[in-house]
Structure 1
């Protein structure tokens, strides 16, 4: 009796536990379903965003460069008739700035101790202007001595002439022989010659003294000053001053062997010193006649007018005009190459693919100039040439239509 009572009382408890488990499992299932729904929503949003971005980048439509027709019979190929245009080519180069005509100035005369240097680097000087003065106290005394020697020689010459004149008056009377006259004449001539020697020595001394002043050989800009007062200089002292004649500057631009042949003398160039936003217009005045064997480059010399921003020894970049060319121009995607060289694919009058070998000329920002192989009226395959075969029949579609 008691056993049955216990059994009846335990049955509702088991049912309660079972109901709780059922409720818990249903809650978990519902939560998992909610998570799946949220995941599907997130994926749908991401997919929609990707589609919108793709449409925005593609402009809302996509150009088909090469695609088969829906019936599978012909391929639609985008073509371009390039025509002919006048192209201006440019070549970019780097190099250093320098004086176009740099004049090194050193000691011309005997040298000595420098007493005065009146110029500084960066100053303009005129032709013949004194750059440095060398002490000449000893040389001045030598010049005075040479001047005195002229007076001595002149006195001897005057005495010899007087003796000759007296002898000539006595020769007719028989007091003086002809041999004596000849001797006196020779003495007079020697004295006159010594006068000329003394004068030449004085002129030489004065010329040497004048060379003690170091002067500017031409007007220009002083680039370097390598001497100070008190310094002893001589002909072996090297360069004391460096002058840019007329202040003219230039850029020594280094270009490749291929580009060197495209640059004519007289071409315009824009030079920009490193670290400066200012550009200067120059003109090519010399193209190197030789090529460096190590780097296969040549030098193009661009003449520039003086400007404080152009400092010799500085680094600069240049954009050089390489001339004009009337030729068809194609984008890089239209020009292919293989072992035989560069070529393009064109669609002939029968709508068949045909290979045409071409030569590429100057390269511009807008494409490649075709120097030979095309006249501009052909229908050139714009893209996807690698997927086409020669002789294949296609349906040409003009670019932009």
Structure 2
């Protein structure tokens, strides 16, 4: 059987009243704590936002000027002992070239015992010339001497006989004088014949061509079978003592810095081998076309030095003690060379300078700086005098 029981207000009076009231209290408390938590979260978030914003505003306000300044690399150069060097280029040549040709009557060349590139000694035969005709002429001259000698002996004998007869009165004084003159003439003809032979021998000896000095044969312009004669073109070119030189071309300003005896290092093109020499002569004139002069660098004989070749030279030009700056730090305009230095207020100030020795490490500043300044390393061309910057010290190489 199903029984439905309805509970009315009157009948509910028998149930415990605190069951429903307790549930409502717990729900109300939960809602209250949730609201309090939300409010606290919002308040804390707001406080944090305003605090953070205030800090940001303060930081921006305090560093606003610094953040807008350009950062410029600067270097303090100090003072350095700088060895000056001048780079030059030019050609190699024989320092004392000796042209050698035929000084005799000449003739047909029989042999040439030397060639270009050979080393020869003073007096060594360079060319042998045929002397068949001269040999016969010398033989004839010797025969003439014998004839003259015989005539002289006969004249002397005649004079001796005449002197024996003059005391007896058979020969006059005039005849003795004539015989004496004949004897003297005969003796003179002997001397003439001997002189002619000597001359012929000298000419014959000069047919061959000899080295006038020891040295290196640079050119050979004669071959066997060729006919040579005196006064012709040189047959050989010899570098006396094998001495070479470099004809270094330097600017007018650099030439004024050099002096005789200055050391130099010469490197021929196409080789890594360098040779040490020294300046032995400076050109007394400047080429009007290119404003350059010639520094002649003496070099000892070395197989790697070939006259006519091209070479580069590094010439020492003294030492100085001065600040050194890289090329990027030095600017120039119509007023001359200058740099920018950063003063105590971090302002860029123009400073006129005078440059000196140029090396691979930098350029010497001979006036305008004492080495203690903060010099703008780069970007000086973008600065204006008096501009405030933020300097950042670096080394001279930019690191």
Q: Normalising by structure 2, what TM-score?
A: 0.72
- 1:120-159 counterparts in 2 under 5 A? 120-159=115-154
Cα displacement (A) at 1:124: 2.0
How big is the alpha-carbon RMSD for the aligned residues of Structure 1 and Structure 2? 3.2
Which digits, 9 at most, give the CA deviation of each residue in 1:327-380, with x for residues without a partner?
Answer: 221222333323232234456789876654332111112221122344434554
Partner secondary structure for residue 234 of structure 2: coil
Tell me, yes or no, if the aligned pair for 2:336 and 2:352 is still in contact at 8 Å. Answer: yes
**Does 1:357 find its partner at 2:352?**
yes
In structure 1, the partner of 2:46 is none
In the superposition, relative to structure 1, how do residues 84 and 365 fare at CA in structure 2: closer, same or farther (>3 Å)? Answer: same
Cα displacement (A) at 1:206: 0.3
Match of 2:188 among 189, 193, 197: 193
In the superposition, relative to structure 1, how do residues 379 and 185 fare at CA in structure 2: closer, same or farther (>3 Å)? Answer: farther
- 1:44-83 counterparts in 2 under 5 A? 70=65, 80-83=75-78
Cα displacement (A) at 1:139: 0.6
In the superposition, relative to structure 1, how do residues 197 and 326 fare at CA in structure 2: closer, same or farther (>3 Å)? Answer: farther
In structure 1, the partner of 2:12 is none
**Does 1:247 find its partner at 2:242?**
yes
In the superposition, relative to structure 1, how do residues 308 and 74 fare at CA in structure 2: closer, same or farther (>3 Å)? Answer: closer
Cα displacement (A) at 1:174: 4.3
Partner secondary structure for residue 365 of structure 2: strand
Tell me, yes or no, if the aligned pair for 2:89 and 2:248 is still in contact at 8 Å. Answer: yes
Cα displacement (A) at 1:71: 6.2
Match of 1:290 among 277, 285, 288: 285
With 275-284 and 213-222 compared, the bigger mean Cα shift is at 275-284
Once residues 220 and 148 of structure 1 are traced to their aligned partners in structure 2, the CA distance between those partners, rounded to angstroms, is 42
Once residues 386 and 114 of structure 1 are traced to their aligned partners in structure 2, the CA distance between those partners, rounded to angstroms, is 74
In the superposition, relative to structure 1, how do residues 195 and 397 fare at CA in structure 2: closer, same or farther (>3 Å)? Answer: same
Tell me, yes or no, if the aligned pair for 1:93 and 1:255 is still in contact at 8 Å. Answer: yes
In the superposition, relative to structure 1, how do residues 310 and 388 fare at CA in structure 2: closer, same or farther (>3 Å)? Answer: closer
Q: Normalising by structure 1, what TM-score?
A: 0.72
In the superposition, relative to structure 1, how do residues 353 and 179 fare at CA in structure 2: closer, same or farther (>3 Å)? Answer: farther
With 292-301 and 210-219 compared, the bigger mean Cα shift is at 292-301
Number of corresponding residues: 334
In structure 2, the partner of 1:217 is 212
Partner secondary structure for residue 311 of structure 1: coil
- Pair member with larger Rg: 2
Once residues 107 and 237 of structure 1 are traced to their aligned partners in structure 2, the CA distance between those partners, rounded to angstroms, is 7
With 296-305 and 69-78 compared, the bigger mean Cα shift is at 69-78
Which digits, 9 at most, give the CA deviation of each residue in 1:152-200, with x for residues without a partner?
Answer: 2222222223333333344444444443333333322222222221111
Cα displacement (A) at 1:101: 2.2
Partner secondary structure for residue 205 of structure 2: helix
In structure 1, the partner of 2:203 is 208
In structure 2, the partner of 1:35 is none
Once residues 288 and 312 of structure 1 are traced to their aligned partners in structure 2, the CA distance between those partners, rounded to angstroms, is 19
In structure 2, the partner of 1:96 is 91
Once residues 215 and 149 of structure 2 are traced to their aligned partners in structure 1, the CA distance between those partners, rounded to angstroms, is 46
- 1:114-125 counterparts in 2 under 5 A? 114-125=109-120
Tell me, yes or no, if the aligned pair for 2:103 and 2:231 is still in contact at 8 Å. Answer: no
Cα displacement (A) at 1:326: 2.3
Tell me, yes or no, if the aligned pair for 2:125 and 2:211 is still in contact at 8 Å. Answer: yes
- 1:1-400 counterparts in 2 under 5 A? 70=65, 80-346=75-341, 355-386=350-381, 399=394
Tell me, yes or no, if the aligned pair for 1:69 and 1:76 is still in contact at 8 Å. Answer: no
In structure 1, the partner of 2:51 is none
